[in-house]
């Protein structure tokens, strides 16, 4: 059986199984829900927000990309962020990285000349390495460096979020949302919070917006 055919069959089985347990399952999903959480995660197929948090569908608004990155020129991410904050009015934003991340591992290698777009994306992770080079180079093994860079990358993305006008407007207007930096362990299945920012967190003035100017 072809892979795509199997996926379609599994979809039917999934729907039938859920309806057998709860006949109203799909009708409840069709009703618009208000999400309290915006999740920025990695595209890695092993890390699904609903599954690893044991959440029902509809509770978490999700955006995923390579290495859970928050990049100031990524219109896709910024549009999702604006919708989550201004329309859904989420209370929490989670940036969730994970150990054994292929994007982080790739950023530790020399760039491949034939991957021009991927190289541009991974450069942001390389920049994080450069900022923390002394700490990372002092670690004994490549695995330790990879794991620590996963953590530092998550922390960097939390700060990138705080430097957006969307977040700064929301913090000034409604004192939310809170920003959480999480790392998921593939080996033990546990999520650990390693960073947290909220409306009371100090910002580097270099990145503050002049909200009185209408930005």
Residues annotated as catalytic are: 42, 44, 46, 98, 101
Q: How many CA atoms lie within 13 A of 103 on its CB side?
A: 26
Alpha-carbon span 8 to 205, nearest angstrom: 52
Alpha-carbon span 213 to 209, nearest angstrom: 8
Q: Name the token pair of 116.
A: 């021009």
- What sign does the dihedral 136-137-141-142 (CA atoms) show? positive
Q: With the CA atoms of 75, 82, 40 and 177 taken in that order, what torsion angle do they form, in degrees rounded to the nearest 10? A: 150
DSSP string, 40-68: EEE--TT--HHHHTTPPTTSEEEEEETTS
Alpha helix positions (H), 163-204: 165-174
Q: Using the 8-state DSSP alphabet, how is residue 202 labeled?
A: -
Alpha-carbon span 124 to 201, nearest angstrom: 24
Which residue carries 């219109």 as its tokens? 75
H or E element at residue 38: strand 37-42
Which residue carries 């948090």 as its tokens? 53
């Amino acid at each position: 059986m072809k892979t795509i055919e199997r996926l379609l069959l599994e979809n039917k089985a999934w729907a039938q199984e859920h309806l057998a347990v709860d006949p109203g399952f799909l009708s409840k999903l069709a009703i618009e829900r208000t999400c309290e959480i915006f999740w920025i995660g990695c595209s890695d197929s092993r890390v699904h927000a609903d599954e690893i948090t044991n959440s029902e569908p509809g509770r978490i608004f999700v955006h995923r990309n390579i290495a859970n990155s928050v990049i100031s020129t990524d219109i896709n991410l910024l549009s999702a962020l604006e919708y989550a904050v201004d329309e859904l009015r989420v209370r929490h934003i989670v940036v969730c990285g994970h150990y054994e991340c292929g994007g982080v591992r790739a950023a530790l290698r020399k760039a491949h000349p034939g991957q021009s777009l991927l190289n541009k994306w991974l450069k942001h992770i390389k920049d994080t390495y450069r900022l923390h080079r002394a700490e990372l180079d002092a670690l004994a093994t490549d695995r330790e460096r990879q794991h620590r860079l996963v953590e530092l990358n998550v922390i960097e993305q939390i700060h990138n979020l705080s430097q957006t006008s969307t977040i700064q407007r929301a913090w000034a207007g409604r004192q939310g949302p809170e920003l959480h930096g999480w790392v998921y362990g593939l080996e033990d299945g546990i999520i650990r919070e390693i960073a947290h920012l909220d409306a009371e967190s100090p910002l580097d003035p270099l990145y503050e917006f002049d909200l009185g100017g209408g930005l």
